[in-house]
Chain A
Amino acid sequence: MAKILIIAEHDGTKLNASTAKCVTCARGIPAADITIAVCAASPASVAAEAARIEGVNRVVTLEHPANVHALAAVIAPQIVAIAGPYTHVLGPSTTFGKDLMPRIAALLDAPQVSDIMAVESASRFRRPVYAGNAIATVEATGAGKLVGTVRTASFTAAPAGGAAPVEAMPVAADLPEHTRFVSVSAAASDRPDLQAARRVVSGGRALGSAENFKILHSLADRFGAALAASRAAVDAGYAPNEMQVGQTGKIIAPELYVAIGISGAIQHLTGIKDARTIVAINKDPEAPIFEIADFGLVGDLFQIVPELEKLVGQRAVP
């Protein structure tokens, strides 16, 4: 049997959708027995949410004041202390999981498979390399534990409907004090979360300025869409870093992705190619984005965006 421990990602009160995607990945491993670990200062609400995910066998909580912020150096030893019985330790391939899971792997002396996009067996997985321009099938050899991060765009979230037992476990590890949380600056927004959004409107360098980038805001509102940006637009200061999509930013899989003024460097395309439908609006008919777009519209975005807004009319329900 594969005993799988999934590390929950949460903000202290709500579970991140990435956790239910990890569950779907874990359920692809034959004979999976799935435990979710919730490290928090007060884990009750997050644990209750985790317990409702279908396919989860149990939830364990690790309650400690030091868990008020998710610091890899603090969480890793707690997970290692309870990891004994497990064959696999999984986390999402978000910045939370990317930061944490290799720290756990090293302390467990276990190899890590990053960005799992498909499960072939308990030890064999497919993952993208070279910015998604090649897909590698990797196998972990040896009898030890395996750590993995799950490429969330490759899995749908396991639905609610379960009722797993929740068990509190003592925090038995020495927690370091050498790493301290200072602050997080997150732009307040009532738009859908980029990584969970069904529709995404995304802007590139052709927007030309932070001021111009704002023309996408009302279009995104009409679509009920999250906002995203290419690396070039973020580098130029038109949009904040949390909007960046691509090899080194977020990997997303919305139903609709509207790329506006984005030429489509391979590093960007790797972040969007799981989108169901891709729309590209660009004045350069040779832009590589048109190679993968389902619908391409060649023209001046400053003319097309207001037209689209008018045609789409009332704000959509997200």
Chain B
Amino acid sequence: MTAAPPRPARRMTAGLAEGVWKLASAIATPVLPDDYLDMFAPLRAGAELRGRITAIHRETADAATIVITPGRSWAGHVPGQYVRIGIDVNGVRQWRAYSLTSLAGAPDGTIAITPKAIPDGVVSNHLVHNARPGTLVMLDQAIGDFTLPTPTPDKILFITGGSGITPVMGMLRNLPSAGADIVLLHSAPRAEDVVFAAELAERDRSGQIDLRVRHTDTDGMLDLADLDREVPDWRERQAWVCGPTGLLDAAELHWAANDLTDALHVERFRPTIIEPGEGGEITLLGSKLTIDADGATPILDAAEDAGVLMKSGCRMGICFGCVVTMRQGAVRDLRTGEITTAEPGDELPIQTCINAVAGSCDLEV
């Protein structure tokens, strides 16, 4: 595309704005004008993307919908996508990804996620049980390709388990009340565990979906071999599956066995599970080098043994001169035994002089 040259007036305004910003930066140094603006308008256009929790609705005993007003830089989302949110839990910023369950382009500009508190889930428990309206959270733009194509397929099969219903709910709320032929097979342990139970039943009654809910505590897990009986025309449907890893693996096998891989779309939230171990592989992303190290050797020393001189300082954990960014993996503090893990998508600064690899770790070196 050839862009028309900007009109002189526009160019002048742009130049002026840039000049004003430069001046403001020179006046605010060593901090940035943003640091002052953030005090008054954290959600303004051009600021780092944040959001403010405006409402919290309980869904089940351990699930809640968190309504967030995103900052002006929010670029919108496609139903089915997820958003990474960073929230301070007991003073520590934690990042997690949650499917968006809200109407895309809601009139009040809000978005919503519906986390389910999982055992030992630091963030999900905080969101469901402790978060309060008014809290500022960090956001990333929505991402994910677990979305419906345009035009919407005529025949759709959704298979969901537990909180796997959330991206599908995001899609249903954004679909017209009639049109596609949609079957939704949802599994949850018990009736009271079904998130959005009332709304799903209503959509079933109104004819938007054909809902079959399975209570796995009494009915057992869904066996995909039964699909022929449950949904005889499943082969003609585009399928979206979201739920526990076991369900996703089974679906991939089943669709592949029927030569229908193209018709299957799955959402995996945790492509890798970080399991801390003793020692392991240190991957230096910059130099594309992998080093094997034991669990008693600081990463800094392991790298030096392998001929890589990383930045270093006191070598006893006090000066923070050796801090590098861990992109994923786990490390163990040799002084305290404390484990620090980074999931894919995280950028976690760690001290290399007092941490040893615990399983594996990818470092930006």
The answer to whether A binds B is no
